[in-house]
Amino acid sequence: MDAPRKTYVFEEDGTILGTYYIKTNQSGPGDHVCNCGYMVSSRARGRGLATALCEHSQRIARELGYEAMQFNFVASSNEGAVRLWSKLGFATVGRVPKAFRHPAEGYVDALIMYKWLDA
């Protein structure tokens, strides 16, 4: 499941400000759950782009036949992302202790976040 099924970019005036990919999280009986990864340029922070990308990815996920979305590794120190994903309906369903080596904070937990995609 290395290759994304789809990749999207958000550009403004010829500059890429954000991107995300969507792929099947696990093959076989778990292939109804997708995984996404997002990146937003520091120049675009605070403009709602991450929200828009996540909302778009949920629409695309449903179009592709996925029924749920899972984020496998959200650094607990990334408070903005945790707050946003929670606001968008994702629940923290797991925690892996000290799984992320933060450059300033040292070892922090990684969260597994999940959302069933209502039609």
Q: What is the CATH number of the domain that holds 57?
A: 3.40.630.30
Q: Above 80 in pLDDT, residue 69?
A: yes
Token representation of residue 56 = 């778009």
Beta-strand runs (E) in the chain: 6-12, 15-24, 33-40, 68-75, 91-102, 106-116
Number of H helices, E strands in the chain: 2, 6
- Model confidence pLDDT, tens digit, residues 41-66: 999 989 999 999 999 999 999 999 99
Which residues touch 49 (CB under 8 Å, ≥6 apart)?
A: 10, 17, 18, 40
Total structural domains within the chain? 1
Q: How far is CA 118 from CA 62, 96, 114, in A?
A: 9, 27, 13
The string of pLDDT tens digits covering residues 89-103 is 999 999 999 999 999
Task: Note down the domain range covering 98.
Answer: 6-116
Tokens of residue 22, six digits: 């969507």
